[in-house]
């Protein structure tokens, strides 16, 4: 993976210069996103809260980093040859990132995803040239889970790989050599806490590992939505429980400890459980007070950052990631009818209901 590391270092060295040319094409444009100071929330807590603007990646989300890292790793190991097929099971954003990378590097892209995902994501994948297979949403233990179907499909093809984003640790490594160093550089090494939710575990493990190596005092926390087992796993000291319940957030929460998360899970400082009500409220608060049009997982991360800042005390500096924008979920997040169908109509602050313009 040394060449991935070299690429990451080259990307870091470009900083935010507007005259930079991404000589590697789209893959060279991934990363080095701004760190946004969340002014209103920082003033309310007496802390400094920052969000890393991952929605500014070329494919529109933090998953571009994993997509680039995994594909480059497969190329370097000789697992995929020119003109081959890349297959993944994904809740959306990793698939979108992979579809972009496949178009840029000449591969066919095939995506298996739960049929519970937003239509915006499915349409975008198709427009990017990916072959999309929506399948029933069933637990990982079920052989019909979208990940298992993706693996079986890839195994039947010549010159094809299943990228295995959940357990392929090239995912976490991509964040270890890019996202983590960027945050460290942007905060000038002055960071008290980092918190984010996890689906594959790549971001949390990669960033957490890097920051802990640089500063053992920095606390790394996991944020978890309803329906995920990870909050209780971390809080109980490692006891897995049966998964139950669900969340309106997409692409986060987990019923097991993935290989990516396993790299760092025992070094976590703690975990926070964030309700859907809090996430929805924050979607609207961020739009109103910060001008940020973000998805529910980003909003959940910001809720967690606020709660962590309160735990660490006034003057603390906390960073989270703003995973993607709301445009991939707008038909749900800004629909009064849809929110009410999920029992979340009252989660929107009264003064902000003017933004729920869809019926």
Q: What is the DSSP string of 62-76?
A: THHHHHHHHHHHHHH
Nearest Cα to Cα of residue 271 among 232, 218, 298: 232
Nearest Cα to Cα of residue 296 among 229, 342, 350: 342
Sheet holding 160-162, edge to edge: 131-135, 108-114, 85-89, 160-162
Structure tokens at 19: 């005259």
| Rg of the chain over all Cα atoms, to the nearest angstrom | 19
First to last CA, the chain: 49
Q: Which of 52, 63, 209, 317 is catalytic?
A: 63
Q: What is the DSSP string of 275-332?
A: -HHHHHHHHHHHHHHH---B-HHHHHHHHHHHHHHHHH-TT-EEEEEE-BBGGGTHHH
Tell me if residue 212 is catalytic: no
Q: What is the DSSP letter of 168?
A: -
Compute CA distances 339 → 94, 199, 249, 263, whole Å.
Answer: 25, 23, 12, 36
Q: How many CB atoms lie within 10 A of CB 121?
A: 23
Structure tokens at 40: 């209103």
Strand pairing report for 85-89 and 48-53: unpaired
How many whole angstroms from its chain centre is CA 352? 26
Contact 102, 130 (CB under 8 A): yes
Burial class (CB in 10 A: 0-12, 13-18, 19+), 135: middle
**Helix-, strand-, coil-residue percentages of the chain, each rounded to 5:** 45, 15, 40
- CA dist 48 and 193 (Å) reads 11
Catalytic (active-site) positions: 63
């Amino acid at each position: 993976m040394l060449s991935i590391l070299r690429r990451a270092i080259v990307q870091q060295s470009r900083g935010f210069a507007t005259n930079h040319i991404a000589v590697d094409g789209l893959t060279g444009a991934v990363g080095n996103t701004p760190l946004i100071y969340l002014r209103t929330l920082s003033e309310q807590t007496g802390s400094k809260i920052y969000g890393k603007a991952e929605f500014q990646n070329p494919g529109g989300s933090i998953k571009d980093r994993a997509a680039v890292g995994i594909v480059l790793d497969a190329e370097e190991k000789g697992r995929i040859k020119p003109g081959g097929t890349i297959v993944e099971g994904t809740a959306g954003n990793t698939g979108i990132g992979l579809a972009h990378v496949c178009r840029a590097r000449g591969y066919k892209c095939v995506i298996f995803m739960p049929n519970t995902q937003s239509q915006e994501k499915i349409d975008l994948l198709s427009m990017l040239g990916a072959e999309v297979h929506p399948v029933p949403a069933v637990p990982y233990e079920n052989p019909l889970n979208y990940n298992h179907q993706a693996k079986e499909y890839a195994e039947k093809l010549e010159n094809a790989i299943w990228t295995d984003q959940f357990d392929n640790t090239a995912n976490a490594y991509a964040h270890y050599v890019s996202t983590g160093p960027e945050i460290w550089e942007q905060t000038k090494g002055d960071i008290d806490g980092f918190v984010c939710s996890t689906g594959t575990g790549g971001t949390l493990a990669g960033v957490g590992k890097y920051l802990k190596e640089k500063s053992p005092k920095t606390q790394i926390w996991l944020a978890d939505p309803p329906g995920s087992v990870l909050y209780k796993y971390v809080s109980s000291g490692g006891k897995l429980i049966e998964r139950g319940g669900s969340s309106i957030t997409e692409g986060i929460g987990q019923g097991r400890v993935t290989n990516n998360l396993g790299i760092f899970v025992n070094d976590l400082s703690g975990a926070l459980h964030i309700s859907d009500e809090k996430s929805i409220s924050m979607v609207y608060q961020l739009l109103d007070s910060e001008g940020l049009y973000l998805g529910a997982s980003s909003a959940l991360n910001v809720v967690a950052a606020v709660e962590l800042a309160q735990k660490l005390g006034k003057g603390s500096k906390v960073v989270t990631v703003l995973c993607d924008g709301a445009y991939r979920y707008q038909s749900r997040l800004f629909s009064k009818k849809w929110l009410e169908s999920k029992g979340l109509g009252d989660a929107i602050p009264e003064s902000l209901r003017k933004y729920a313009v869809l019926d």
